[in-house]
Chains A and B, each alone.
Chain A
Amino acid sequence: MLIAHQAVGRKIDDVKQSVGNTITITPAGFSDFSQANNALTGSSLSKVTSLAHVSSLSENLTDRVTTIGSATPEFGKFGSNASSTNNTTSLTSPITINADGSGNGGSMRVFIRDGGSLPANFSLPISVLGTTTPLNVEGGTITLSSGALIDGAKDTNSALVSADMATKNNLKVGSTFTAYGATLTVAGIFTSSTKTGGNTIVVALPTIQRLTNQPDIITSATATVDSLDNLSSTTDAVKSTLGSNADVQSSQSEADNAVQPLQNVASISLFSLIGAVIAGSAIILLTMIMIVRERRREIGILKAIGASNTRVVLQFMSEAITLTVAGAIIGILIGVAGGNPVTNLLVTSSTQSAATVNTPTKATTFGGSFGTAGPRAAFGSRPAGGFLSRNGTSLKNSVTNITTNIGWSILAYGLAAALAIAIIGSACAGWMIARVKPYEVMRAE
């Protein structure tokens, strides 16, 4: 239990630093399109970077480009739509759309109202994400399969494309394509587990700001906070910094959901530990009382031939300590062997029960995670969201994948607990020893 407690405690700290400790900043009113021109600017966000507990800030600008010569239905406009009218590309989306509902293979289904049909030359628009942090986009991490990352702060004509996109358009590292009338070079190819990710080009933030003629404009930003514990206070700080220009949302509930099962295990193991110490003390106490009663005569003899109370009590205490330390060593050996499976069992069963209970909310709080990323994100309908969607499965793995290891601190705590048990357990026996009168023992011959 001690081992489980320590492992889970460490994991909680770990999770608090890595999971759900993000604050999402979007332009105010963005989500209901009521104030579409109220964009964020890089200069206002620079104040956020300097706030305490903000360990990093990812700024993004998203846009869409359509394949040259294709017909595009209007899906709605996002952000400042003052972008260049020349928002076309030579690339074709890897996702094909079947309007008749017979989608199969890697294609998607689209249902069009009133029995309409898609134009024959329809091609899905491609998301373009400009970001300052290509490595860590929207809480997800890019996995490069070839090439190199781009520098998110530098305005270059380099881009990262998804593996699906590269296959569809015969791109390799070093290949070029056009977008916004400019020629971009493929710097790297990444893999994405989602359709949206597969339909995305990643460029540096200054690049897309230049190409779309939206200097200093940002459609969303994600601030990472150093620990979950500071999330709520930092969220408030960001809100007051940005004022009414921005919607600031934290993933507090998501993070709480992630940490809750672990905290349950931590408290279970803590209470079990306390229970074990109490039970151990009681057992040693009863054993010592039994030993003292059985060896009353021996105690009487020792006292008769000149042993002091202290001396006899110390002898019995050292016996108790020897017993418990031997027990502790055996216990530690068993803990080394069984700590990992037991901790994982505890955590797994706890997180599973939590997932079962919270299934309906999980779907929303994890952005469709813990299950499928869902086709709804495929059109890039969320501003920069859904891209490399925060993968619930990997979060769950990070929560459940706990390894226990035995450090010196564990050994020290274990031995200290054993000593405490021995001393508490034999204290009462010591009092009994002090009361043994040698003449009573002698007379009972």
Chain B
Amino acid sequence: MIKVSNLTKTFQSGDNVVTAVHNVSFEVPAGQFASIIGKSGSGKSTLLSLLGALDQPTDGSIEIAGHDIARLGERALVRYRREKIGFVFQGYNLIPNLTALENVMLPQSFGRANSHSGKTRAMELLDQVGITGDKQLRKPGRLSGGEQQRVAIARALANRPALILADEPTGNLDSETGKMIFDLLHKLSRSQETTIIVVTHDLSIAGKTDKSFHLQDGKLISKK
């Protein structure tokens, strides 16, 4: 259960104060697949980084499983990101020097996971997202965009997060691959009981999600 109340984020840009997110409130029940849509500059990426505890809000609260993450300290935020959140980025953001398998094992190594079980889990996850065999031992540079995004999704799932935040996960992919990635996310939200929030400007994707929020100029103008 995610509950966002009166969330506001302002930036100082020169002499102007830019309000990227303005008094946004919404709820997403656990295990649902939600989308946030809006044009570029509408504040959707800022909203996502607030949800992912990458940035702190100017005002308002974000309650996840009863905890207000807007009030957490630096250490607790790191722990929250590690244990409760999985990120999927538009640009995949895999570590280029590590193999697909090592990339998936990475978030577990930040915690106290034992390396053997971590490896087993990473291989299972890669199998689930369709990266099999020797592709697991390739470095990101030798995988296609769609494959890299699958690895990124497997990495996001590694620590069994409560929430997966995906920022334009299909933005760099052709429509066919994008649809496959979207279907994968959809399937995972069902099978892993994970809440997924996707930021996108692709209305065809937004139409298929359980919930959809439309942002414009930092304000929530419609909910579905």
Question: What is A's interface to B at a CB cutoff of 8 Å?
Answer: 297-298, 301-309, 311, 437-439, 442-443, 445
Option from A297, A302, A308, A442 in Cβ contact (under 8 Å) with B45: A442
23 residue pairs from A and B, CB less than 8 Å apart: A298-B95, A302-B106, A304-B81, A304-B87, A304-B93, A305-B81, A305-B86, A305-B110, A305-B156, A306-B78, A306-B81, A306-B83, A306-B85, A306-B107, A306-B110, A308-B78, A311-B110, A437-B55, A439-B46, A442-B54, A442-B167, A443-B45, A445-B91
A interface footprint on B76-89 (CB within 8 Å = 1, 0 otherwise): 00110111011101
Option from B49, B81, B111 in Cβ contact (under 8 Å) with A442: B49
Task: Say yes or no for B22: interface residue by CB 8 A criterion.
Answer: no
Task: Say yes or no for B23: interface residue by CB 8 A criterion.
Answer: no
Given contacts A306-B110, A308-B110, contact A301 B93 (CB under 8 A): yes
CB-CB nearest in chain A for B167: A442
Interface of A is mostly: helix
Excluding A303-B78, A303-B81, A442-B49, 19 further A-B contacts by CB distance (< 8 Å) are A298-B95, A298-B96, A301-B93, A301-B95, A302-B106, A304-B54, A305-B81, A305-B155, A306-B81, A306-B82, A306-B83, A306-B85, A307-B110, A308-B75, A311-B110, A439-B49, A442-B89, A443-B45, A445-B89
**CB pair B159 A439 closer than 8 Å:** no
Task: Say yes or no for B218: interface residue by CB 8 A criterion.
Answer: no
Q: Given the complex of chains A and B, what is the CA–CA distance between A303 and B85 in angstroms? A: 12
**CB pair B90 A305 closer than 8 Å:** no
Give every chain A residue within 8 A of B45 (Cβ-Cβ).
442-443
| Min C-beta distance of B17 to chain A, whole Å | 18
Give the one of A301, A311, A443 with max B CB within 10 A.
A301
Option from B83, B93, B107, B155 in Cβ contact (under 8 Å) with A297: B93
CB-CB nearest in chain A for B96: A298
Q: Given the complex of chains A and B, what is the CA–CA distance between A301 and B89 in angstroms? A: 10
| Min C-beta distance of A291 to chain B, whole Å | 12
Task: Say yes or no for B118: interface residue by CB 8 A criterion.
Answer: no
CB-CB nearest in chain A for B94: A301
Between A and B, how many residue pairs show CB distances below 8 Å?
59
Option from A297, A307, A445 in Cβ contact (under 8 Å) with B90: A445
**CB pair A306 B89 closer than 8 Å:** no
| Min C-beta distance of A442 to chain B, whole Å | 6
Question: What is B's interface to A at a CB cutoff of 8 Å?
Answer: 45-46, 49, 52, 54-55, 75, 78-79, 81-83, 85-87, 89-91, 93, 95-96, 106-107, 110-111, 155-156, 159, 167
| Min C-beta distance of A395 to chain B, whole Å | 60
| Min C-beta distance of B73 to chain A, whole Å | 12
| Min C-beta distance of B42 to chain A, whole Å | 14
Question: Can you list the 10 inter-chain pairs with the closest CB atoms, starting with the nearest?
Answer: A306-B82, A439-B54, A439-B49, A439-B55, A301-B93, A438-B54, A308-B78, A306-B81, A306-B110, A305-B107
CB-CB nearest in chain B for A311: B110
Q: Given the complex of chains A and B, what is the CA–CA distance between A12 and B32 in angstroms? A: 80
Q: Given the complex of chains A and B, what is the CA–CA distance between A439 and B89 in angstroms? A: 12
Q: Given the complex of chains A and B, what is the CA–CA distance between A439 and B57 in angstroms? A: 12
**CB pair A305 B91 closer than 8 Å:** no
| Min C-beta distance of B9 to chain A, whole Å | 10
**CB pair A305 B49 closer than 8 Å:** no
Give the one of A305, A439, A443 with max B CB within 10 A.
A305
| Min C-beta distance of A163 to chain B, whole Å | 76
Q: Given the complex of chains A and B, what is the CA–CA distance between A442 and B110 in angstroms? A: 20
Q: Given the complex of chains A and B, what is the CA–CA distance between A411 and B189 in angstroms? A: 58
| Min C-beta distance of B38 to chain A, whole Å | 15
Option from B46, B55, B93, B159 in Cβ contact (under 8 Å) with A306: B159
Give every chain A residue within 8 A of B46 (Cβ-Cβ).
439
Q: Given the complex of chains A and B, what is the CA–CA distance between A308 and B52 in angstroms? A: 15
| Min C-beta distance of A318 to chain B, whole Å | 14
Give every chain B residue within 8 A of A302 (Cβ-Cβ).
95, 106
Q: Given the complex of chains A and B, what is the CA–CA distance between A432 and B138 in angstroms? A: 31
Q: Given the complex of chains A and B, what is the CA–CA distance between A297 and B91 in angstroms? A: 11
| Min C-beta distance of A435 to chain B, whole Å | 12
Give every chain A residue within 8 A of B106 (Cβ-Cβ).
302, 305
Q: Given the complex of chains A and B, what is the CA–CA distance between A301 and B92 in angstroms? A: 10
Q: Given the complex of chains A and B, what is the CA–CA distance between A442 and B155 in angstroms? A: 17
Q: Given the complex of chains A and B, what is the CA–CA distance between A55 and B174 in angstroms? A: 92
| Min C-beta distance of B100 to chain A, whole Å | 15
Q: Given the complex of chains A and B, what is the CA–CA distance between A144 and B96 in angstroms? A: 76
**CB pair A305 B82 closer than 8 Å:** yes
Q: Given the complex of chains A and B, what is the CA–CA distance between A308 and B110 in angstroms? A: 8
| Min C-beta distance of B198 to chain A, whole Å | 15
| Min C-beta distance of B50 to chain A, whole Å | 9
Q: Given the complex of chains A and B, what is the CA–CA distance between A445 and B90 in angstroms? A: 8
Give every chain B residue within 8 A of A297 (Cβ-Cβ).
93
Q: Given the complex of chains A and B, what is the CA–CA distance between A397 and B3 in angstroms? A: 87
| Min C-beta distance of A293 to chain B, whole Å | 16
